[in-house]
Amino acid sequence: MKALWAIACLLVTPAWADEPLSGWAVFQTDKSYEELVTDTKAAVKDNGLIVVTQAGPTKAAAARGITIPGNLVIGAFNNDYAVRVLETSTAAMIEAPIRFYVTENNDGTATLSYKTPSFVFAPYVYEGGKTLTDIASELDTKFQDVAETAVK
């Protein structure tokens, strides 16, 4: 019985692999990885946010002689949002900065994705209430604008 379940899961998994994860926004592009990284950082700034963090394994792997596709997480936020979120929920600030994820595809193009701020802050609404929900909605719009600017 377990073997049949495992086989059924393997057969279904590829169909799920093409679907975005719940709470994620995904933008396929024709841009190269390097171009999309540059454009995402510029779009963050152009839309009133700040690149707070950057992390990815690609360069460190290359330094070890390992080649992997481009992969970078870009954390974006600003102090205005930080102060406003803290006024509603101290615990919610663990989620800041909210991250964009740039990944290189096998065909040389790149994808920009992120968890929507509403999804990220949803677990804290019990504490932050409607005010936190409103901030997350503002950030949803801001992150959508960043993504649309970056992928143009």
Whether 9 has a pLDDT exceeding 80, the answer reads: no
Whether 147 has a pLDDT exceeding 80, the answer reads: yes
CB 98, CB 119: distance < 8 Å: no
Closest among 33, 36, 38, 41 to 58, alpha carbons compared = 33
Report whether CATH 3.30.310.70 matches the domain 22-151.
yes
Q: What is the pLDDT of residue 21?
A: 87
Rounded to whole angstroms, how far apart are CA atoms 42 and 46?
6
Residue 123, preceding bond cis, omega within 30 degrees?
no
Stretch 136-140: mean pLDDT:
98
Stretch 72-100: mean pLDDT:
98
Lowest mean pLDDT among 13-22, 61-70, 83-92, 114-123: 13-22
Residue 97, preceding bond cis, omega within 30 degrees?
yes
Confidence class of residue 18 from pLDDT cuts 50, 70 and 90? low
Domain limits of the chain?
Answer: 22-151
